Structure 1
Amino acid sequence: MKEMLKRQLQETGKYMMQNDLAWGNSGNISARIDDNSFLITASGTYLGDLDLEDFAEYSIEAKKCLTNGRKPSKEIPMHQAIYEMRPEIGAVLHSSPLYSMLIASSNIDIPSALFVEGMYYLERIERVAYAHPGSIKLGELVKEKAKKANILLLENHGVLVYDTSIKEAKMALQTLEMACKMLVISRKAGVVLQELPADVVQSFLHESGYKPRRSWES
């Protein structure tokens, strides 16, 4: 199980780098092992070239590292908050891709009803006020919003995307970056984007045969 998750995270790191969803040594990714633990990339790792030793196992309940060796990413408080508040979540991706970072550093809202993938993957987006990376404060802010969305814009920091599996989280991250890119380019070009009506969105989400939608806090 752990070996399989490590390999999936390795592939995800490469995917993120190859698709401009991460850069340099920024970003950290994790995957749930069971109800009480998750794997997370080690501090200072490069997502495009992860080794099997570049992960640390962390206890959700004990709030401590369960393995010797590499030190886990300092962004543990954010990942911990998501897994603690959302038991159905299987993976968390933190990154700062260009267009998503532009929007996270602005007061622009991201429309989720521009295209099919947006309606599906960007159903709920929330903003999280800036707090220093890796801080307990940031973990607390993420915890407050964890049940309200599946995508968090970390102001002047990056984005946090989480879903039931690594694959779903990866697709949500790429969809987010595409939506933000469309938004930035359309504004520069003077193109007015038209969102689908709310009733069409609801019809798509509940009647199109996709997986059942999540229950959200108001």
Structure 2
Amino acid sequence: MPVREFERIGKRLFAEHLVGGNFGNISVRKGDEGFYIKRTGDYLDEVHELVFVPFVGVVPKNASSEYRVHSDVYRNSSHQAIVHAHPQAAIAASLVRDAVLAEDSEGKMFCPKIPVVEGAPGTQELANNVVSALKTTKLVIVRGHGTFAAGKNLDEAFQLTSLADHSCRVIALKHFFQ
């Protein structure tokens, strides 16, 4: 898996203000062996090295702190790529809602209901809750933390991440104008 592909998606996440600093991570599955993930501490738009995390064996120390979520999603689904981002509007919505019901046409079409789950960053509880949600949808918001979007490739996972923020912004703006 080329570093360039991770950087391309990382640059798009930064351009749309869906991540900040060195937060967030992305991964791509490699068959039944494991997955490639961003190295902890790397910025998404300047990925220096990908870390391979095997499904069986020792997890490298330099793997992203959210490797548990990525690993468990891949083990329990057919998803091939995951984007974890911190879209501000989606995070804000997660603080006041248990699910986001899209009101915009794109949201209704591609992800009409985005569940909100609980779990502290980097924990097995978070991994369990995200896996449970991603069995029936491709997008979930972790309360106060961010989104996990899964798909057949990084582009699909990115698009869903962008959609989450867009749908939440539309809802917020609707309430502002009322």
Same fold (TM over 0.5): yes
- Percent identical pairs in the alignment equals 22
Q: Does 1:80 align with 2:80?
A: no
What is aligned with 2:52? Answer: 57
Q: RCO (CA 8 Å, sep 6+): is it higher in 1 or 2?
A: 2
Runs of 5+ consecutive residues of structure 2 not aligned to the other structure: none
Runs of 4+ that moved beyond 4 A: none
TM-score by length of 1: 0.75
Q: Deviations over 1:173-195 (max 9, x none)?
A: 111111111111111111xxxxx
Q: Does 1:111 align with 2:108?
A: no
Please tell me whether the aligned partners of residues 124 and 148 of structure 1 are also in contact (alpha carbons under 8 angstroms).
no
Q: Which has the higher strand share?
A: 2
What is aligned with 1:25? Answer: 22
Provide the C-alpha distance between the structure 1 equivalents of 2:104 and 2:145, rounded to a whole number of angstroms: 25
RMSD: 1.8
* Residue 18 of structure 1, CA deviation: 1.0
Equivalent of 2:38 in 29, 36, 41: 41
Q: Does 1:14 align with 2:14?
A: no
Computing the radius of gyration over CA atoms, which structure comes out larger, 1 or 2? 1
Equivalent of 1:93 in 63, 66, 83: 83
Q: Secondary structure at the match of 1:153?
A: strand
- Relative distance call for 1:150 and 1:63 in structure 2 (3 A) is farther
Q: Does 1:155 align with 2:143?
A: yes
Provide the C-alpha distance between the structure 2 equivalents of 1:50 and 1:180, rounded to a whole number of angstroms: 29
TM-score by length of 2: 0.91
Q: Does 1:172 align with 2:167?
A: no
**What amino acid is the match of 2:110?**
Y
Q: Secondary structure at the match of 2:101?
A: coil
Aligned residues: 178
Equivalent of 1:71 in 62, 69, 89: 62
- Relative distance call for 1:63 and 1:132 in structure 2 (3 A) is farther
Q: Secondary structure at the match of 1:49?
A: coil
Provide the C-alpha distance between the structure 2 equivalents of 1:108 and 1:123, rounded to a whole number of angstroms: 14
